[in-house]
Homo-oligomer: A and B are copies of this chain.
Amino acid sequence: MQIKVVKRIMEASEQHAQEVRQRLQEAGVVALNLISAPGSGKTSLIECAIRELKDKVRIAVIEGDPDTTRDAERIAKLDVPVVQINTEGGCHLEATMVLRALEQIDLDGVQLLFIENVGNLVCPVVFDLGETRRVAVVSAAEGHDKPAKYPALFRTAQVTVLNKIDLIPYLDFDEAQFTCDVRRLNPEMPILRVSCRTGEGVSEWTRWLQNQIGSTVSPEFAPM
């Protein structure tokens, strides 16, 4: 019975993801699903992007968190539309939550929609949210072994952001190994080196984001 239930949940979830995808395509919105461990700097990456692009690009944000509204409060200060999804202890977002959040956002004119997933390298990877692009974020402080330990995320993402690169001089971080492991899993995926703290690499991050505007979901995109 348990397996049947799980299967039914996944089917419903996939159907909701298709609905999200269709709504976004109709509105011409590129949605970015940011997946990472807790504390890798997803909110900071969104903040950086908003500060750089606000005058050129219309941005909205969906913030996923198990318990608090802290991240949404940070984003709201930057004066862009933000909706908080509180998963009530749940460890990942699902498309049905995104659908409900979209009801609270006026998508008219929005070009980029950031969806900050719950900090977790396992479960969010399995759930298609209907996103246009999946962004894998790793803080250098987490160690170079993360792609090898959590391969599914790096196989299904369209870009990897290596964040907090300003810390690398103080870490035993083997960047060659990190890059090699990411390339092995996803040979063509760009790896962006960023420090939100020093600003290094932020312009490459915002340039990548701008290049996604106008994209639709590539047919080979299959997060499972």
Q: Which residues of A contact B (CB under 8 A)?
A: 1-2, 5, 9, 37-40, 65-68, 70, 89-91, 118-123, 126, 139, 141-143, 145-146, 148-152, 164, 166-167, 170-172, 197
Contact = CB atoms under 8 A, between A and B. Distances in A.
Contact of A152 (B65, B89, B120): B89
A122 B90 contact: yes
Stoichiometry, as copies per complex, reads 2
Q: Does more than half of chain A's interface fall in helix, strand or loop, or is it mixed?
A: loop
A189 to B, nearest CB: 19
A124 B167 CA distance: 29
A1, A9, A39, A65: most-surrounded residue (chain B CB, <10 A) = A39
B152 A119 contact: no
A111 to B, nearest CB: 29
B70 A145 contact: yes
B119 A121 contact: yes
Given A37-B142, A120-B121, A167-B170, 8 more contacts: A1-B5, A2-B5, A2-B9, A37-B39, A39-B142, A67-B150, A120-B120, A141-B141
Nearest to A139: B141
Nearest to A122: B91
Contact of A167 (B66, B141, B151): B141
A91 B90 CA distance: 12
Contact of A38 (B1, B2, B67, B149): B149
